[in-house]
Structure 1
Amino acid sequence: MLDTAPKASTKPTTTTADDTSKTASGGEIDAHAQETDGFGLVIDALKLNGIDTIFGLPGIPITDLTRKLQRAGLRVISFRHEQNAGYAASIAGFMTGKPGVCLTVSAPGFLNGLTALANATTNCFPMILISGSSEREIV
């Protein structure tokens, strides 16, 4: 005998902005728990694109981002010169097919990374160069 019982609908549920501000018990979530900053946006974008390794040089302007990258499970490989980090990122992009990411500080760090970015662009290697900067009041 065939089973003719109606089957449960597999229709996907939708969530509205109003739904996301409430917990399962119906209470309100702390507004700070939902806020994100620029670091979070960068990390989310990298993870959404399957990037799991960052090449870079440690420095004050990017220290917070580096810590948050590591906390989010991304591997950070440090170098002694931005150009070397950039070349490693470009080769990683070539070998994996996913963009290699080089993280540098601003000004001279960014300029040193540009050499590797120019090389990657010339050879059609996927690469992303991210440079950080400090607030002027801090400097």
Structure 2
Amino acid sequence: MGIISKHKNKIKLYYSSNSSLGKQTLAYVTASKKDVLAIDLSKTKLTGTQWIEIAEALHTPLSSLVNQKHPYFTQNYTEKGIHLGNEDWIKVLHKNPEVLKGSILIVDNSFYLLETPTDFLKHMEPDTAALHPQKPHED
């Protein structure tokens, strides 16, 4: 049993307000008709256990959550032969959440890594019509 709470009618979004991708994704998610719990990782730090739970739910290693081309990462961690373990990846994400490769979306019991703001649309039911309002019919 995980420690991250999940809700049927609530979207949970982990994002970084220090990244333009995070801000844009937040705008898409908050435009949906569902209740949103947005967690800004630059203000709220996740525990190592939570990061591991997220990685396991996404079926990916922690290293895949990090944008390894981000300037902070390349300046500090790209020496030849460097090997990072899970604790190291957690420290990277904890200290600099803007290196997160995207935003983490949780809908019901499903976890998604959103690498672009529009990835959100792929994972939502059609009831998110607020994202694409229809024009009124002209008679």
Higher relative contact order (CA 8 A, sep 6+): 2
TM-score by length of 1: 0.29
TM-score by length of 2: 0.29
Whichever of the two has the greater Rg, that structure is 1
